[in-house]
Amino acid sequence: GQSAWRTRFLSAGARYFAPYDIELIGQFMIGTTESALGQKDIWHDRVRFESGFIMASKAWPTSWGAHRLAFRHDIYATEDISPVPRAPRSLGEHGHGLTAAYTLTSADHHRLVAEVNTQRSTRAHRIQFGGEREERETIFQLGYRFMF
């Protein structure tokens, strides 16, 4: 059958232009999401979540394009609050991430982005599948975009 999702959340964010042309952006979100498997108003899975981030960035122009350097810190957590009993009730997760990115946009519609991101999260449920309770991952990305 079909499954349905119902998500409710509260979100707040702010943006501030600091001295030296530094832009600060932050957001926090908290809520719940539920899924139903084919039966109206019978919600089987329920998860409480929260997440937030703060980002600082600085842009500056040069004769060969616009540059931007950004740093971001994310936090997140989920908790299984399903009404259906489970064994174990350890499906929640919490963690944080750090990102640093550099962007160059040239006057003739080319954009180059280099980004490094590291995440660390804890989830007890991973142990049942042969994983570690805590995991860390670092990713480097390089992207190119032509805009017309």
Distance CA 94, CA 119 (A): 11
The conformation of residue 79, written as its DSSP 8-state character, comes to E
Angle at 57 between CA 120 and CA 142, to 5 degrees: 60
Read off the tokens for 53.
């981030």
**Could you tell me the pTM of the whole model?**
0.83
The conformation of residue 86, written as its DSSP 8-state character, comes to -
Read off the tokens for 49.
């979540």
What pLDDT, on a 0 to 100 scale, did the predictor assign at position 25?
98
What pLDDT, on a 0 to 100 scale, did the predictor assign at position 58?
98
Q: Helices (H), strands (E): how many in the chain?
A: 0, 7
pLDDT of the chain along its 148 residues, tens only? 567 788 999 999 999 999 999 999 999 999 999 887 666 666 678 899 999 999 999 999 998 899 999 999 999 999 988 876 665 556 789 999 999 999 999 877 899 999 999 999 999 888 888 889 899 999 999 999 998 8
Interstrand relation of 110-122 and 93-105 (parallel, antiparallel or unpaired): antiparallel
The candidate with the shortest Cα–Cα distance to 13, out of 60, 59, 55, 61, is 55
Give phi and psi for 21, each to the nearest 5.
Answer: 60, 35
What pLDDT, on a 0 to 100 scale, did the predictor assign at position 89?
57
- 3-state DSSP percent of the chain in helix, strand and coil, to 5: 5, 70, 20
What pLDDT, on a 0 to 100 scale, did the predictor assign at position 90?
63
Distance CA 80, CA 98 (A): 25
Read off the tokens for 84.
């259906």
